Structure 1
Amino acid sequence: MDKDAKPCEAKLYSDEKSSQLRESIRSRNQYTLIAKLPPEVLSEVFLHAELASRKRPDGVREPKLRFNFSFVCQYWRIVALSTPDIWSTLPENLGSNWSSIMLERSKNAGLTIDSILRDCDTPQGKSFNSELQKVVATYSNKLVDLTISCDDTMPQEDLQMFLDALPLSAYRLRHLRFALDAFSRQWPTIPESVFSDTRLSTLWMKGCDIAWTSSLMRGLEDLKITVGRSTSLLDFLDALKRMPSLKHLSLTHRSPFSDFPLSETRILLSSLQTLNVTLQPRDFVNVLRYLVVPASVVVEFRCFGSPDQEDTEIWSSSIRTFFSSMKGNSEVGVSTFQTLSISNDPNTKTSVRAWHQQLDGPFSTLDITPNFLFISRTVEPWLAGLFNSLPLSNLKTLKVLGLPSQPLLIQSFGDLPELETIHFDDSTQITRILQFSDIEDSSPIAFPHLQNLFMRCIFFSKINNSPRTSVDSLRECFLNRLSLGIPIQKISIIESSNIKHDDIRALSEIVPSVSWDGIEDYYGEEEDKFYA
């Protein structure tokens, strides 16, 4: 079937295939599909299942129907999740013959278990959890991937009892994940003896505790842990020393660390690819000072709450020191990082993300895009404080979106002689970006290499003396730069108001490349009056 088929055609094809396969089941027996479905038919099913998927508002595609299969060997799990329409006729309870047949026919194939524990207050929930324990114990020699989750309604004693009763000899187990929401109870402890024979490469733990000295912490490649209680920093760092192959580290620590190391010995994580750390502001100093990572690592830093001015200085200073250590670490061939992205998530954690490349020189790109709307009209103090600690002299690309007073913010960065491209969406005083000075000021233009402007959601003024920038004043700035021999080469204007085709033609006479979405009044007259 053509992959470019329209959604309606995909649905018709999906319905047709589903009908044919279900008829085959009814005419023979309910296990025919599992035992006899040929690979070429499976490939067709995968195709139509993908085409029949629908898009969510966030752009992610999802199947029309969803299933929660409690456990299934890895191959059949892929089949089940990829063909929701077809497998809807099959039983999904653990005690069914279908489950046993799937396990028997999987032979030595790696087994994946992904299950949600149920409340033991009900007979069904208690039976389900007991059956799950039995399956884990019986087939532990085939177990490759184990994921167990539950919500905070499950009593603490029932959850701990379930964990203590997991007798495993899972020598093939490589991926272990516990996602136990524990906001209304004490966190259970994962007994180390349960997994005595494992050689894990992935360990994810949320809502539960484990001893940092555990053998499970050794030789990991992917570690993701959310810690709820105060933890010994010394034990945590000792655990990292036993992970020379660690590629992905994610640590969320809600309480301050305790028991700090006496020495300044640093830990080299030479294989690390991603680093995600969420801490109290002052704990950044205590953790980052001991870590040395490659420049190719992808970094994301978050701190709980909105830091005050003192916390901001400590926070930004620890980040600056951390990045400086990356630059000076010759053992992993470190160059300086290239891109920094700063944003805030919906619960106002402060976030810094940096992507590193093996290139010489300081920042080449700075991206400031909060995920929420600022209430105030001024730049947050923590943001300005962080900028003061960044090496921006070689900055080439600047993205400032969703912030108030963007031109003034850019002006506060100081001289940016290498800046070539700016993205922004603030219509006030755009001329400050082009001139870095008031019209009457005779100071030199600070962005001599500026060539590209990407403007979005700009409310152009209809008069020249408005706080907002008019198209005429923008054109005058372009002419001024042209006369000085530093012309703008490219501009892009989208989703903006009070701009017409004649304005675009006038700008095109000065700027070689002008891109416009053709919408003269994107937000309408009422919205435009509001921003006037």
Structure 2
Amino acid sequence: MSLLAILSTVLALLDQLPFCDSQEHVTKYHSTNFVPSLEDVQSIRDLISDRETQLASLNSEIFQVDNVMERLRAARTVLVKSRTHVEGSLRSHKTLVSAVRRLPAEIMGEIFIQCLPCEHYIRPRVEDCPLLLTRVCRSWRTIALSVPQLWCSLSVSLQKATGHSSSPYEAWLARAKSLPLSIGVIVDDNDALAGVMKRHQPMNWLRPYITRCRDLWVATTNGNPFCEVLQCTPSLERLQLTGCRLPNEGFVISDTATRLRTLCLRFVGQDVESLATLNPPWARLTDLTLTFSNLSGQSFLRVLQSCPLLERLSLS
């Protein structure tokens, strides 16, 4: 007999249990000093006998129900394990016939590009794209590594890119092949790091990629180590320089930056008059953002006069 049939039988037996109410004629004497007569004593003893019989029957039925429930719990455990196995098998077989397996690598590559973070300069993190895409399966890794658009944006921390530790950054940018690059260079100018930078010259490995930059951001409290960065930037269209102060000798942007149209300078520790130390192609700029500790009306007019093609200007 199945467990469900046993349970049904037990429930049917419970429905047939004789719950006798023959004690009703003495119930009113409970919690009183009533002394039953000989006739009442006999009736009460008959009732006690009935209740003892009923109690024994109930105990027997409860024991049977406990056994059935124990078997049902064991059966449920087995069924849950079987369901988990079937669900896993179902998912596995569904993936074999899923549409994503039949998509060409070119379309998968386009989908991967849409998964990139919204950051302008992508920070390498294994929990984010594109590195995350290389950890799903062998096929996805192959596709991701073959799509240059996934690797043409990078945020570089020079504190982590000194000496041999630059290899992951170089591998990242190498996957971009010949595409124009967007690179953000971040450095904290503390004394210890300055010594490390002087020994390892971190810009050496980065310089070839800077020449391919279409978009470059340099963030530092002291721009001196990066003056040489801007000497050869033929592909540069957008340049951001941020920090507390400009380098002592200023930034000289090479004449090779003929495509530069967007310039953002944020140096909150300096007066706007320090712009005189710069040599950007003012006449070609269409988008200019300036943030300095002090801006005067004359400086504003000089900027307007120097930038005849300017379409957007932000001063603060």
- TM-score normalised to structure 2 length: 0.45
Higher helix share: 2
- Which of the pair has the greater relative contact order for Cα pairs under 8 Å at 6+ separation? 2
- TM-score normalised to structure 1 length: 0.30
